[in-house]
Amino acid sequence: MIFTKTKQVVLAVSCMVLMWCPTVHAMIYDYEIKVQEMEFAWKVDGPELRIKLTAPTTGWLGIGFNPSKEMKDAKFVLGYVKDGNTIISDEFGTGEIKHERVEKLGGKSDITLVGGEEKGGTTTIEFTIPLASKDTIGGRIDPTGETVVLLAYGLNHDTSKLKHKFRTSININLSTGKCN
Q: pLDDT for 105-121, tens place per residue?
A: 888 889 999 999 999 99
pLDDT tens per residue across span 73-82: 899 999 999 9
Can you give the pLDDT at residue 171? 96
pLDDT tens per residue across span 156-167: 766 555 566 789
Rg (CA), the chain: 18
Can you give the pLDDT at residue 19? 37
Query: Please, is 70 exposed, middle or buried when counting C-beta atoms within 10 Å of its C-beta (0-12, 13-18, 19+)?
Result: middle
Q: What are phi and psi of 42, to 5 degrees?
A: -155, 165
Domains identified in the chain and CATH numbers: 23-173 (2.60.40.1210)
Cα 128 versus chain centre, distance: 7
Contact 148, 131 (CB under 8 A): no
DSSP 8-state class, residue 98: E
Residues, the chain, total?
180
All residues at 6 or more sequence positions from 43 whose CB lies less than 8 Å from its CB, including other chains: 27, 28, 29, 30, 31, 49, 50
